[in-house]
Amino acid sequence: MILRSILIVTFVFSIGVISIYAQTNTQVYTSIKDASEAHELGLKVEILNLSKKKLKVLPEALREFTEIVELTLNRNRLTEIPAWISEFTKLEVFRADKNKLNTFPICLLQIPSLKEIHLGDNYITSIPIDIDNLQNLESLHLWSNLIRQFPASLSDITSLQILDLLYVDMTFDEQRWLIEILPEIEVEMSEPCRCTFDD
């Protein structure tokens, strides 16, 4: 009888440990295959790093990871981010540095949970005027892009702390204007250029 009670307690304890682990698993998955296997075991896939996978498009298999909190896609060949990324309603960190993005992914504006966006070293030419949809955004990294439009709505993101525009060609007047509208934000910029731009 005592042995049976011990076995029952041990079993219940083991189930509890598995349940807790499933809820707090913060392993970094570096392939869709590994993430899918973990997902099938009932584990939450919260951190996925698919850097350097030569991706030209994002596989739809990612859509099953609805619990994802941090998604890294650095150093791929992506030209766009699919609209279904907005289904990741718990996403807090999105990284897609060093890709081939021509525009800021508008779908990101539909994820209010985002705290960090990293889109450095792409071909992005503007920041969308609705960027202030992201009221939890703390840092926006757009270094080494081709940005020519800096919306005043940046000043409406009350949580914003860092705006990284290093290696983005900007005139002295543009830099001064940004600093004036973002007095409480750390704006990282290179030396102003002596350049002219077409309208």
Q: What is the average pLDDT across 105-112?
A: 98
| Domain residue ranges of the chain, discontinuous segments joined by + | 27-189
Q: Is residue 166 predicted with pLDDT exceeding 80? A: yes
Cα distance between residue 197 and residue 128, in whole Å: 19
Give 9's contacts (C-beta < 8 A, 6+ positions apart). none
Closest CA relative to residue 120, chosen from 179, 162, 158:
162
Q: Is residue 198 predicted with pLDDT exceeding 70? A: no
Residue bearing tokens 């029952």: 8
> Which pTM value belongs to this model?
0.86
Tens-place pLDDT, residues 117-157: 999 999 999 999 999 999 999 999 999 999 999 999 999 99
Question: Where do runs of H (alpha helix) occur along the chain?
Answer: 2-24, 32-40, 172-181
Check residue 48 and give its pLDDT. 98
Q: What's the CATH fold of domain 27-189?
A: 3.80.10
Q: What is the average pLDDT across 3-9?
A: 38
Closest CA relative to residue 69, chosen from 147, 163, 143, 136:
136
Cα distance between residue 67 and residue 91, in whole Å: 8
